Amino acid sequence: MRTFRLVISCPDRVGIVAKVSNFLASHNGWITEASHHSDNLSGWFFMRHEIRADSLPFGIEAFREAFAPIAEEFSMDWRITDTAQKKRVVLMASRESHCLADLLHRWHSDELDCEISCVISNHDDLRSMVEWHGIPYYHVPVNPQDKEPAFAEVSRLVKYHDAEVVVLARYMQILPPELCREFAHKVINIHHSFLPSFVGAKPYHQASLRGVKLIGATCHYVTEELDAGPIIEQDVVRVSHSDSIEDMVRFGRDVEKMVLARGLRYHLEDRVLVHGNKTVVF
């Protein structure tokens, strides 16, 4: 069922819901899902509607025009998307395949509603798996002495494919600040720890050293500060003294791929609203 998704953030005040729902009702809009959140601390209001496209008398462009005055009146940061327009996704990976294979299978079996434009990797190991899915594979090696050319090529490819989302599916390179800024709130990473614990390299080793009883994974938007961007989704799994670091890595893989798949899905369904360094996930 084709729907439009109307996603709004604005300063909170009386009458927003009435105005928006009146607008929708006056055009006979059939709302299939509605979510609201008032944040008391920030005084900000968040809202997401999913509306049957065939219940409305106009298309997305006319919707945009008709809604613009309301958006202006309430100083809304807003967008409307059309589920008929699949989002274009670029996946990036290195050598470990678990997150990439998981996302590819979800896409292949129509669980993940998007286009996968291409996969970019700093290694050539996963080419055959990707190409079996009929997806272009770009091997862009990163020279540790001079990473700049590689990231210029990554930037070129992302733009060439007109990607709306870039997913770092265990891509083991740190994106340069320019790229983080250029694609702000568009790059989704999976970090293999329960952030803010164990930022940076080898989090399972850090977790083992600290003797924690649960390990986790965190899906977040990439920002210039390492592993510090807005968190979309997290989960954990229980470990014990009998689990070696190798066991933790193995358990962790399952958490990583689940958390990344959920986080990406929320993003693709326009469920994630970023405000400051936090997210509202409807």
When the beta carbons of 102 and 164 are compared against a second copy, the nearer one is 102
**Is the separation of the CB atoms in 184 and 145 below 8 Å?**
no
We find the least distance from the C-beta atom of residue 82 to a second copy, in angstroms, to be 20
Write down the least CB distance from residue 275 to a second copy, Å: 9
Which residue, 24 or 165, has its beta carbon nearer to a second copy?
24
> Residues with catalytic annotation?
227
DSSP line for 6-35? EEEEEE--TTHHHHHHHHHHHTT--EEEEE
- Assign 120 to helix, strand or coil: strand
Note whether 3 and 53 are within 8 A (CB).
Answer: yes
Q: Contact 56/4 with Cβ under 8 angstroms?
A: yes
Where do contacts with a second copy occur on this chain (CB under 8 A)? Answer: 14-15, 17-19, 21-22, 24-26, 28-41, 46, 55, 97-98, 101-102, 105, 109, 111, 128, 132, 194-198, 210-214, 216, 230-236, 240-242, 244, 250, 253-254, 258, 261, 277-281
DSSP string, 54-97: GGSSS-HHHHHHHHHHHHHHTT-EEEEEETTSPEEEEEEE-S--
Nearer to a second copy, 155 or 197 (CB): 197
Q: Amino acid identity of 102?
A: D
**Tokens representing residue 169 in the block:** 């599916």
Q: Closer to a second copy by CB, 129 or 150: give it.
A: 129
CA 270 to chain centre: 9
Please report how close the Cβ of residue 17 comes to a second copy at its closest, in angstroms.
4
User: Minimal distance in Å, beta carbon 182 to a second copy?
Assistant: 23
